[in-house]
Structure 1
Amino acid sequence: MTNTETGSAFLSEGEERRRRIVSAARRAGSVSVTAIAADLGVSRETVRRDLGTLERRGLVRRTHGGAFPVESAGYETTLAFRTGMHVPEKTRIAAAAAELLGDAETVFVDEGYTPQLIAEALPDGRPLTVITASLTAAQGLAARPGMTVLLLGGRVRGGTMSTADHWAARMLSGFVIDLAYVGASGISREYGLTTPDPTAGEVKRQAVRVSRRRVFTGVYSKFGAVSFCRFADARAFDTIITDSRLPQSEARRYALFGPEVLRV
């Protein structure tokens, strides 16, 4: 066997191993170095190198002892999955976001679990019109006193229980909204806010465009992650709310773009 053939064989073996790691992470929501090493019959150092390669490709984010999958053009987490991840952090973020309501009379609430928690944290006892692409947020708000709920029309995305496509974006384009609560699959200083689905990205882009104030909410793991469709720049936001696991130094870097960055 020639050296070239040997190199190709090792490359193929490594790529297959990394494919299996990504598949396992997407199935379970995360992987540990120890478990993957035992499952694949390789050393933990090999798994760590593989995770480093996958992180550079934007497919996973490494954690202490493992990794979790990053949303991409071909992979998006479901709402059901999101409801089980970082719940205490998302709850704190939602509470802090609701406190920024101020005198807003019209509010956009994005799809996703953190925006759903924001919707639940909005106060009763005052007139408020909420525009949303989230079926779950609309359902939770519809029976509350003082709330007028406008559900954006369009194709229902079953995984996220939200509406998308040009119908939803066109409906949004006719509004002027006081405050938008916007989420994303990733936020980075280089590429801004991104999401895997271009149709969902267009809805988010329109929400940012027609809103007077804009708040981004996302847990620390969103920062530095990059997905397929870019829909906004960090400079477009008045406030960024995340949890305290985002390093203070990184929060300051985002604050240089203009938004106030809150770590809760």
Structure 2
Amino acid sequence: MPDNANQSADRTRPGRRKGAEAPRVSLLAEPRRMKILEWLQEEGSARVRDLSAAFGVSEATVRQDLERLELEGHVTREHGGAFLKSVAQQVQSMSLQHMENIDSKRRIGLLAAGMVHDYDSIIIDSGSTTTALADNLVARQGLNVVTNALNIALLLGANPTNTVHMPAGQFKAPTLSLSGEKSGEFFEGIFVETLFLATAGISFEAGLTYPALGDIYVKKAMIKAASKVVLLADSTKIGRTSFSSLGQVGLVHTLITDAGIADADRARFEALGIVVMIAS
């Protein structure tokens, strides 16, 4: 069945509530399959009907996309949907899906850790770069940490002087995190000095973008709960766009990235009043 390119960009998946960004218009087959794979790499699993509504194509088209992704070895199809093939192994080993550019991420995490002092109250988003931050906070004392990442909670919660809080929500195996509306509601009434935020892509046009809709609720709530937003992102994410937008780059106060950032991009961030820190 051909893609229905005339469906409205405002069409949403069943049950989508106020607060999530509207999905985009239909994409061509190959780019759409890559976006579906990004979604699965973020969420761990997805239902056909949700992907159909989000991407504005028929359920038959989504099934064809998932069949192709299964043939390529990325996913396993099941009745009504599919799940990422590596999910069970990742959960058992407590490993993350996105571990590319790990050297840059470690340097970014080390630089970000210099902003955290004993007894600070902070929010740490889930992700591989924010995990690199947490790795460098194990010696801090008396931290008051709110995080949606199970691996970060276990890492920092092992220090008996720290207090670690976690929201409820839907478990996402690839990022070892909790997300969704329930997670977002947890942050109501919470106020901290600094949020260390992750992202899948940064675009001056599309803003901060993510592979799926579920995280938008919790990330918006995190931003609202923090006085300062520090974005941790390696330079390969600059100029990249994913499926759903959290908002414009001006939501952040500080960007910590690596030396691969282009001079022109750095100038654009700084023109928006964003402090750019380079991890070398």
TM-score (norm 2): 0.65
Q: Give the conservation status (yes or no) of the 8 Å contact 2:97–2:174.
A: no
Q: 101, 114, 126: which is aligned to 1:86?
A: 101
2:151 corresponds to: 136
SS where residue 272 of structure 2 aligns? coil
Does structure 2 retain, via aligned residues, the 8 Å contact 1:90–1:218? yes
Cα gap change, 1:256 to 1:160, in 2 (>3 Å): same
* CA spacing shift, 1:262–1:107, aligned 2, 3 Å: same
Q: Tell me which of 227, 240, 243 is aligned to 1:212.
A: 227
Unaligned residue ranges in structure 1 (runs of 5+): 1-14, 30-73
Residue equivalent to 1:231? 246
Match of 2:126 in 1: 111
- Measured in 1, the distance between the counterparts of 2:167 and 2:134 equals 15
Aligned pairs (5 A) from 1:8-23: none
Q: In structure 1, give the amino acid aligned to 2:102.
A: V
The answer to whether the 8 Å contact 1:125/1:145 transfers is no
User: 201, 207, 211: which one pairs with 1:192?
Assistant: 207
TM-fit CA distance, 1:95: 0.7
Given residue 134 of structure 1, which amino acid in structure 2 is its aligned partner? A
Supply the AA of the counterpart residue of 1:113: S
Supply the AA of the counterpart residue of 1:82: H
Offset, 1:102: 4.9
Aligned residue for 1:253, secondary structure, equals: helix
Alignment-derived partner of residue 150 in structure 1: 165
Q: Which has the larger radius of gyration?
A: 1
Q: Is residue 119–residue 142 contact of structure 2 (8 Å, CA) maintained in 1?
A: no
Over aligned residues, Cα RMSD in angstroms? 2.9
Q: Hey, which of these two has a bigger chunk of helix by percent? A: 1
Deviation at 1:230, TM superposition (A): 1.4
The one-letter code of the counterpart of 1:261 is: V
Separation in 1, partners of 2:119, 2:224: 17
Question: Of residues 94, 97, 104 in structure 1, which corresponds to 2:112?
Answer: 97
Q: How far is 1:81 from its partner?
A: 3.2
The answer on whether the counterparts of 1:194 and 1:226 sit within 8 Å (CA) in structure 2 is yes
TM-score (norm 1): 0.68
Deviation for aligned residue 1:124: 2.7
What's the secondary structure of 2:96's corresponding residue? helix
Q: What amino acid is aligned across from residue 105 of structure 2 in structure 1? A: K
What does 1:45-56 correspond to in 2, within 5 Å? none
Match of 1:246 among 229, 249, 261: 261
C-alpha separation in 2, matches of 1:116 and 1:144: 16
Listed one character per residue, the Cα deviations across residues 161-186 of structure 1 (whole Å, up to 9, x for unaligned) are 10011111000122011110001111
